[in-house]
Amino acid sequence: MARKRGSHADITGPRVRAAALRLFARDGYAAVSMRRIAAEVGVQAGALYLYTPDKQALLFDLMQGHMEDLLAAWGAESQGGDAPARLDRFARFHVRFHLDRPEAVFIAFMELRSLTPGNFAAIAALRGRYEAALEGILREGVAAGAFTVPDTRLAAMALIAMLTGVTTWYREGGRLARAEVEGIYADMARRAVGAG
């Protein structure tokens, strides 16, 4: 047999990435085989190589796309306001963004070690830009006397870890609504840096 009915690159390509995202998030990059991804898409393993040069590139593209989405989304939302206002927006944005794409977040965090050195460096650089964005807000707040933090780098890492952690326990339809969760995290972040 050969070409399937109604098959199309525009359809299969995204389906390959979606299947890879789901499976990498659930079982981990190393534990997922190309055959498994292909089965999810309803195709033979060889067909995947029409859409990715290899398995590593599939992972890298997912992670890079996620980090670029993250930076672009924050870039669109970050402008204006003083440090406390921007920290509040950052916290809410971070929680919202991460709750919207738990699988991509999970992969971006867990599969760094599955990247080849070159790919790792590229993702680490993108991540560094995001961390620097938060640290910039903290430095600005410290300079303006609005925040009390002995070390802005440490505080930025601590806040990001705290906020990202929401994905480990939050379940849709649970006790708390998204908006409440956003608000509570933003409050904790604000207080953690000593803002009134």
Partner DNA sequence: GGTTGAACTGAACGGGTGTTCAGATAGCTT
Partner DNA sequence: AAGCTATCTGAACACCCGTTCAGTTCAACC
Is position 68 an interface residue for DNA (rule: CB under 7 A)?
no
Spell out, one character per residue from 13 to 42, where the chain touches DNA: x when CB under 7 A holds, - when not. Answer: -------------------xxxxx-x---x
- Write down the least CB distance from residue 33 to a second copy, Å: 11
H helical segments located in the chain: 9-27, 34-41, 55-77, 83-100, 102-110, 117-143, 152-164, 166-169, 178-192
Residues 117-176 interacting with a second copy (rule: CB under 8 A):
150-151, 153-155, 157-162, 164-166, 168-169, 175-176
Structure tokens at 129: 């830009």
Q: Are 16 and 52 in contact (CB under 8 A)?
A: yes
CA pair distance 96, 178, nearest whole angstrom: 8
Residue 6 interacts, among a second copy, DNA, none and using kind-specific CB cut-offs from 5 to 8 Å, with DNA
CA pair distance 15, 109, nearest whole angstrom: 22
How far, in whole angstroms, is CA 167 from its chain's centroid?
Answer: 10
Residues 6+ apart with CB under 8 A from 15: 41
User: Given candidates 113, 118, 145, 172, which one binds a second copy under the rule CB under 8 A?
Assistant: 113
For residue 51, give Cα distances in angstroms to 14, 35, 56, 61.
9, 14, 12, 11
Is position 191 an interface residue for a second copy (rule: CB under 8 A)?
yes
- CB nearer to DNA: give 6 or 196: 6
Residue 118 interacts, among a second copy, DNA, none and using kind-specific CB cut-offs from 5 to 8 Å, with none
- Write down the least CB distance from residue 20 to a second copy, Å: 15
Interface positions with DNA (CB under 7 A): 1-12, 32-36, 38, 42-50, 53-56
Interface positions with a second copy (CB under 8 A): 26-28, 30-31, 110, 113-114, 150-151, 153-155, 157-162, 164-166, 168-169, 175-176, 180-181, 184-185, 187-189, 191-194
